[in-house]
Amino acid sequence: MLPPSRSLAVRDVEACGAYTLLRLERDGADAGVPGQFFMLRADPAPADAYLPRPISAAWADDDELAFLLDIRGPGTSALTRAGTVEVLGPLGHGFDLAPGPALLVGGGIGAAILPWLVRLLPDARVLLGFRTE
């Protein structure tokens, strides 16, 4: 059974290196766990981007859900201009987290989930890789 879709207000949009950080008001929405993803669509949806975009949350707390976007086309671009975003999720299975030391490895947009994991695994070390400095 799918979770309900919700419209969440955009709290902030900011450049974050080569990516864009989209922060939404959580407004009681289920944040899920690291490793799950959400289907996001700008509200109202632009005519040239009719399908929602699957995006993993970068982090969640009591007040917000945050997503790191790699702007590639009209769908992700519309998310940066929206006042509200239609959110379906969380979907998929999250990571099985065990206490103790961990090595978290990511690069590029794949590093988006690491801030949330580091909050939950304080003994973790992080290894990042990127194409450019």
What is the per-residue pLDDT across 108-121, written as a single tens digit (0 to 9) for each?
888 889 989 998 99
pLDDT at residue number 99: 84
Residues 31/1/41/58 CA torsion (nearest 10 deg): 30
- Percent of the chain clearing pLDDT 70 (strictly above): 100
Is residue 13 within 8 Å of 20, Cβ to Cβ? yes
Q: Does residue 92 carry a pLDDT above 90?
A: yes
pLDDT at residue number 131: 80
Q: Does residue 41 carry a pLDDT above 90?
A: yes
Q: Mean of the pLDDT values across residues 46-75?
A: 90
Q: Does residue 50 carry a pLDDT above 80?
A: no
For residue 8, the number of C-alpha atoms closer than 13 Å in the C-beta half-sphere is 29
DSSP E strands in the chain: the ranges are: 5-16, 19-25, 37-43, 53-60, 64-69, 84-91, 102-107, 124-129
Q: Does residue 124 carry a pLDDT above 80?
A: yes
Q: Does residue 18 carry a pLDDT above 90?
A: no
pLDDT at residue number 51: 81
pTM of the model: 0.89
Q: Mean of the pLDDT values across residues 92-109?
A: 90
